[in-house]
Structure 1
Amino acid sequence: MTAPATFLPGPVPAAAARKRRVRNRYLRGLATPRGIIGLALVGLVLAAGLAAPLLTSYDPNFQTADALLSPGSGGHPWGTDELGRDLLSRLLYGIRADLLVVLAGVPIAALAGCSLALLATAHRAADVAVQRLFDLVLSFPGLILGLTVTAVMGVGRGTVIVVIALVETPGFGRLLRGAILVHRDREYAVAARVGGAGPLRLLTRHVLPNAADPVVVHFALAMSVAVILEGAMSFIGIGIRPPEAALGATLAASRPYLEDHPAYALGPLVVITALVVGLNLIAEALNRGARR
């Protein structure tokens, strides 16, 4: 009597195993105290913005006669501004507006920067042209570039997204270009080339998966910079168009009332700080995880 046949699982494909290793590295990094604190800070701010209609019943632009109320007065948990608008409502909806432009501008920058990096590594002449383009963009400080774009496009949400994309594109492009140049001369890439892998297969199956770590880490850092840039643009009046709520604009409007109404400035200041610190902690955790 023959024993029943046993079926053993086949070998895991190399690409799937590599993806699992990369995912596990990132998860281990995010599971560190830095990663947990960063995720908690960003998640708390994100949840507050998404739940704005549930956390406040006031329209952020609705004006009343009760100007500059202190927190808890007149049914306003965080008080009101100089126009009688509910500060908690403007804070929560300002989180929404800020995150919207950040989550739109940074992915556009990542896509543009990575595309230009691939173009630069494909041909020497293209590499020179792309590097000079990056140098041109980087020669302008972020706010100066914001003023230039605003002069052409006008004030508004779309302008902020374009500025964030322009400022962040060179960072993504240079990181990926440098990583590709390093990894395509490594032993595993040479072995794949000798084994018959064409340029496209070598790039997509071997080089890019190993060169992606700096880009993933930089994505979190870019979002942190984008939060600061959007806040700065709104603070000086070239960001999100009033009367739409924005954290930087609320912080700018609070300046004349800092002594008598400190809660006016405290809300947006705490939120911006939490976002920047949280995103930087996430970036550091991802970086530590990628090195393992």
Structure 2
Amino acid sequence: MNEEKIESGAGIFFKKLKKNKGALVGAGILLFFIITSALAPVISPYPVNEMNFEDSLMGPSAAHWLGTDEFGRDIMTRMLHGGRVSLLMGLFAVSISGTVGVFLGVIAGYYRRLDIYIMQVMDILMSFPSLLMAIAIVAILGVGLTNAMIAVAIAVIPSFVRVVRGSVLSIRETEFVEASKALGVKDWKIIVKHILPNVTSPIIILATLEFGSTILAAAALSFLGLGAQPPNPEWGALVFVGKSFLSQAWWMTLFPGLAIMLVVLGFNLLGDGLRDALDPRSN
């Protein structure tokens, strides 16, 4: 009986998702970049850091589909490998911020006596623009790829805390939670069995949307020279290098910039589709 209900619920979810053309487009974009990035070592036409000064600043051609940079390195190869770095940065940042944010959000929403202290800290963090705060954190921790990921993760934590807290506040007042408390069920069991399953949907939606935001923020840090350092082929770093040759080698900036834009767009479209599909009130 339970399996049938689960299958029915999953069937309704996928049916709604398939009706949303934007979500399908977003999923297709993301699938393309995930597959090409994962297979980068296999499908890359050249070694990622191979220099050939005879081909420097060569425009898109049959030999180099997306052109070359100032050292004659193939842009397509570096973008494929750069996708691995950018996507992993986003995954790391969302995983850390999501884990910490969900934990703090549940604590703040369930234990009212701790709510004011946690939310005051979150309000302070949210008073700073996320990119500015990430820059400040990198300035403290030091320049580098790992520190940039940590900085972006910290900047996103307040978003998870606020969303999860709001969901927990409404769920903790429901009859099944009150009944569990009356029966003497321990708080951690109530949180695991009743609270967390009911806040899964908003967490999934927010994580999908924040994935694109974290990739954009990480790219911005790399563009400012605070994230990935040469010769790491991260997309933001590629745009940073390309801006110095914008008048003579526009492809160095255009293609990495397009990759960032498309990935962020893909996550936003998919996030909107998931929000509609997971909403029980939508048709």
TM exceeds 0.5? yes
Q: Does 1:248 align with 2:236?
A: yes
Deviations 1:111-154 (A, max 9, x none): 00011112223433421221112122212222222222222222
Quote the Cα distance in structure 1 between the aligned partners of 2:176 and 2:106: 20
Deviations 1:49-105 (A, max 9, x none): 1111222232222222121001116x3222111122111111111111111111111
Give the residue type in structure 2 aligned to 1:44. Answer: F
Q: Answer with 1 or 2: which has the greater Rg.
A: 1
Give the superposition deviation at 1:279.
0.3
Give the residue type in structure 2 aligned to 1:246. Answer: E
Give the residue type in structure 1 aligned to 2:275. Answer: N
* 8 Å Cα contact 2:110-2:169 kept in structure 1: no
Partner of 1:36: 24
Partner of 1:6: none
1:66-81 correspondence to structure 2 within 5 Å: 66-72=55-61, 75-81=63-69
* 8 Å Cα contact 2:109-2:165 kept in structure 1: yes
* 8 Å Cα contact 1:180-1:211 kept in structure 2: yes
1:183-222 correspondence to structure 2 within 5 Å: 183-193=171-181, 197-222=185-210
Give the residue type in structure 1 aligned to 2:230. Answer: P
Determine which of 89, 99, 102 is the counterpart of 1:114: 102
Q: Does 1:88 align with 2:76?
A: yes
Q: Does 1:233 align with 2:218?
A: no
Q: Which runs of 4+ in 1 moved over 6 A?
A: none
Quote the Cα distance in structure 1 between the aligned partners of 2:254 and 2:5: 46
Determine which of 27, 34, 54 is the counterpart of 2:14: 27
In structure 2, do the counterparts of structure 1 residues 222 and 29 end up closer, same or farther at CA, with 3 Å as the change threshold? farther
Give the residue type in structure 1 aligned to 2:147. Answer: T
Quote the Cα distance in structure 1 between the aligned partners of 2:85 and 2:129: 23
Partner of 2:272: 284
Structure 2 SS opposite 1:90: helix
Quote the Cα distance in structure 2 between the aligned partners of 1:251 and 1:219: 26
Give the superposition deviation at 1:19.
5.3
Determine which of 34, 38, 44 is the counterpart of 1:56: 44
Give the superposition deviation at 1:277.
0.8
Quote the Cα distance in structure 1 between the aligned partners of 2:202 and 2:8: 16
* 8 Å Cα contact 1:29-1:287 kept in structure 2: no
Quote the Cα distance in structure 1 between the aligned partners of 2:121 and 2:157: 10
List gaps (5 residues or longer) in structure 2: none
* 8 Å Cα contact 2:110-2:172 kept in structure 1: no
* 8 Å Cα contact 2:131-2:155 kept in structure 1: no
Quote the Cα distance in structure 2 between the aligned partners of 1:98 and 1:161: 10
Give the superposition deviation at 1:48.
1.3
Give the superposition deviation at 1:213.
1.5
Quote the Cα distance in structure 2 between the aligned partners of 1:210 and 1:78: 46
Q: Does 1:143 align with 2:94?
A: no
If the length of structure 1 is used for normalisation, what is the TM-score? 0.87
Q: Give the fraction of aligned pairs with identical amino acids, expressed as a percent.
A: 27
Partner of 2:35: 47
List gaps (5 residues or longer) in structure 1: 1-10
Q: For structure 1, which segment, 187-196 or 98-107, has the greater mean C-alpha deviation from structure 2 after superposition?
A: 187-196
Over aligned residues, Cα RMSD in angstroms? 2.1
